[in-house]
Amino acid sequence: MSLVRKHILRITPYKAGKPIEETKRELGLKKVIKLASNENPFGPSLKAIKAIEKNLTQINRYPDSHSFYLKKRLAGYYHLQPANIILGNGSDELIDIIIKTFVEDDENIITAKITFLEYEIIAQINKKKIITVPLRDFKYDLKAIKKRINQKTKLIFISNPNNPTGTYVNKYEIEDFMQDLPDKVIVVFDEAYDTFIDADDFLSGMSYVPKRNVIVLKTFSKAYGLAGLRLGYALTKEIFASYMERVRQPFNVNILAQIAGESALEDDGFLAKTRREILEGKRYLYKELNKLGINYIPSVANFILIDIKRDGVEFFKKMLSYGVIIRDMQQYGLKNFIRVTIGTSKENKIFIDVLKKILHKRKELR
């Protein structure tokens, strides 16, 4: 007899990218590179590191529960008020807060079938019904999502760009979608990868904040290089933010994250360099994959979904044996795909070299 609640039994836990140290230990490898969690391969900004060092002696104190300074800085950045912002222990936590704040037990949530897994997992943890709508050409199908809205729909999660496909829904698709939505539906645009986008027709959900029932999620985990500190934020209308504040744990964002976030926001040079190098890395990877005749989904983010045409889990294990951590896509239902995060130019080259080695070996075995 299990003592656990039934809905918890049904949850498949989130499988995180394999850590570097664990891989070294398990496989006895000296050099390991990680291209698995869409982190910034260039580290955190030096400004953030300096700010953390300067404030290390403060950690005997609780953090400011309202993150006054960081909120103020973010408000200036987005031309909003601090009251429009709520901070989270990563945007993961904000997904949970949003669901807890807005979704009644008999209401539903809609998202895409192949998207960031946490929407579904967190909905399940909170015992909420989630409807998942298939992608169309590896993209969110906003028309199909709109058709699934019913009287019980409260939230719609749109990962834009979408993880793990790297695709995005454009301005026209969004504008069309946002027209005539029922008043009681809240749309969450998760823009974790917005810094990397190189498309003229991208429209941020911010153009609907604070007027419409929209929440935009952003994170310091990707382009800002602060994944290990856990810092994300939501931008929305004041009244929504105030209700979310009721659900938030008082000290969810630690002192160092608050301080580093403030400094990282100021480091435009670091962000520009990251963006430039990632775009360059992407061009290199596309070129090499094209030469090898390997299909991939063109991406506006800092990762690429690759159709490896063979079992992705096996491929992941092979790459791991060479010290390269990538992500298999089994949990997303994409059996023959892998997802690779764009790394430094050196890391990208290692990835391609190992890819060639594995493909070459297979040919020899035939």
Ligand X SMILES: Cc1ncc(COP(=O)(O)O)c(C=O)c1O
Number of H helices, E strands in the chain: 13, 13
In the complex with ligand X, the residue whose CB is nearer, 196 or 322, is 196
CB of 291 to ligand X, least distance (A): 29
Q: How far is the CB of 9 from ligand X (least distance, A)?
A: 25
Which distant-in-sequence residues (6+ apart) come within 8 Å of 363 by Cβ? none
**Backbone angles phi and psi of 23, in degrees to 5:** -65, -45
- By beta-carbon proximity to ligand X, the closer residue of 232 and 281 is 232
Dig out the tokens for 351 from the structure. Answer: 């990835």
First to last CA, the chain: 50
Rounded to a whole number of angstroms, the minimum distance from the CB of residue 39 to ligand X is 9
Cβ–Cβ under 8 Å, residues 141 and 131: no
Give the nearer residue to ligand X in terms of CB position, either 92 or 328: 92
Radius of gyration, alpha carbons of the chain = 21
Quickly count: other Cβ atoms within 10 Å of residue 211's Cβ: 8
Closer Cβ to ligand X, 113 or 310, answer by number = 113
Q: Least distance to ligand X from the beta carbon of 214, Å?
A: 16
Q: Which lies closer to ligand X via its Cβ, residue 38 or residue 236?
A: 38
- Per the structure block, which two tokens stand in for 184? 């009681």
Q: How far is the CB of 28 from ligand X (least distance, A)?
A: 29
How far, in Å, CA of 305 to CA of 118, rounded?
A: 18
Q: Which residues bind ligand X (CB under 6 A)?
A: 38, 90-92, 116, 159, 163, 190, 192, 219, 221, 227, 232
Q: Which is nearer to ligand X, 38 or 153 (CB)?
A: 38
Which residue is nearest to ligand X, using beta carbons? 90
- In whole angstroms, the minimum distance from the beta carbon of 218 to ligand X comes to 8
Say if CB 342 and CB 304 are below 8 A apart. yes
